[in-house]
Amino acid sequence: MTVAARSTDAVTEALLARNPFSEAFFTRESLRLAVASKEIAARFLAGGRLLAFGRGAYATDAQHVSVEFVHPVIVGKRALAALDLSTAFTQWAPAVSRPADIAMGFAPAGGDVEIAKVLAELRATGVLTLALTGEDADFSFGPPSPDAFIDQEIMEIVYHTLWETVHVFFEHGEMGHDVGDAGFLYPYLGRERQELTGLLESVAESIRIKASDTADLREQVASEQSSAIAEAASAIAAAVRAGGKVIVLGNGGSATDANDFAIDCIAHPRGLSPIPAVSLSMEAASITAIANDIGADAIFLRQLIALAAPNDIIVVISTSGGSANIMAALEEAKRRRIQVVALLGYDGGEIVRRGLADFPVIVRSDYVPRIQEAQASIYHVLRDAIDVINQ
């Protein structure tokens, strides 16, 4: 068997290995997640806010959950008050919290003493607390697997489904309204007011279905895209060996995934050798300055002009494959002959149609949360594959 074939088989195996852990977790925890969603919805309706925080790679989960609640991907859904307090959470969270709030702390399997301490402090004041992962919160979820990457991917499904379900509780008869436009999220809830037990069981089942949909996408990617992922890993490894760095970028939730991948490159959870990487999505001052003075379409282009060097390689994370600011940067990369790895959704969008990616990896779905969940598995597997190649 050739090296390429072995690499492809390893990628396939790694993608499929995630599904049993995810199935076991959501079979076990779906009802508690439904209850948590109901309580979170009640807090929001009472004027509460979501306060999220974590450290290192787990801070990117706080970024992700915050942007999902503030700027929902479903057109017409209400913006909900959410803040990422990771930068100084030990001081910030206690200073701004109110009893009606919700606190979500992100930590690795081994725990984070400071995250746990702040969650306990907030809980004592009446704040509803969730530990992802952790202990001693109102809703605590332990590590679903022995692998930090898989745990983080499952927690992303958790907070996506919490967000989706909160909106259903807002609009469902149990909260005083019918399902309305959110009906497609949980089609069998119907428009009639239900008893609480039956409603929670229905929502729990829908959460399990959503996790299963992500598992199906991983299987699809394993079947159709494993060789592309292996080729992308080889290209990144070669660029780094030649003295280049990885430049990562994305918008919105994909920006937080770009940040996560960059952190995973420099600080692998198993302590493997660092890979030089930067995320253009992490530079808030540069992004806002460029957007204000030039325009939003230039936020990545301007940074790329300043930071790109020979032998660098770009990793783009996008659900649509059609964002103007990403395509502007990739057009510049093409002029400079910088290779591009693109993790994409839908059919790959304009990035594929314009030939702006050397290594496109496509999650063929049209629903953003499920695309992002599959993409998280892809870039984690990609990160591990780079290390295997470099050994």
> DSSP letter string over 215-237?
HHHHHHHHHHTHHHHHHHHHHHH
Alpha carbon distance 56, 1 (integer Å): 39
Architecture of 225-390 per CATH?
3-Layer(aba) Sandwich (3.40)
> Phi first, then psi: what are they for 304, rounded to 5°?
-65, -40
**pLDDT tens track for 218-277:** 999 999 999 999 999 999 999 999 999 999 999 999 999 999 999 999 999 988 889 999
The pLDDT profile of the chain, 391 residues, written as one tens digit per residue, is 455 666 899 999 999 999 999 999 999 999 999 999 999 999 999 999 999 999 999 999 999 999 999 987 655 678 899 999 999 999 999 999 999 999 999 999 989 999 999 999 999 999 999 999 999 999 999 999 999 999 999 999 999 999 999 988 887 644 444 444 444 444 444 444 445 678 899 999 999 999 999 999 999 999 999 999 999 999 999 999 999 999 999 999 999 999 999 999 999 998 888 999 999 999 999 999 999 999 999 999 999 999 999 999 999 999 999 999 999 999 999 999 999 999 999 999 999 999 999 999 999 999 999 999 999 999 999 999 998 887 7
Architecture of 17-215 per CATH?
3-Layer(aba) Sandwich (3.40)
**pLDDT tens track for 183-200:** 444 444 444 444 567 889
Alpha carbon distance 103, 82 (integer Å): 10
Domain with CATH 3.40.50.10490 in the chain: 17-215, 225-390
Alpha helices in the chain (DSSP H): 3-45, 57-70, 89-96, 113-124, 148-171, 196-224, 226-241, 253-266, 284-293, 299-307, 324-336, 349-353, 368-390
Q: Which helix (H) or strand (E) holds 340?
A: strand 339-344
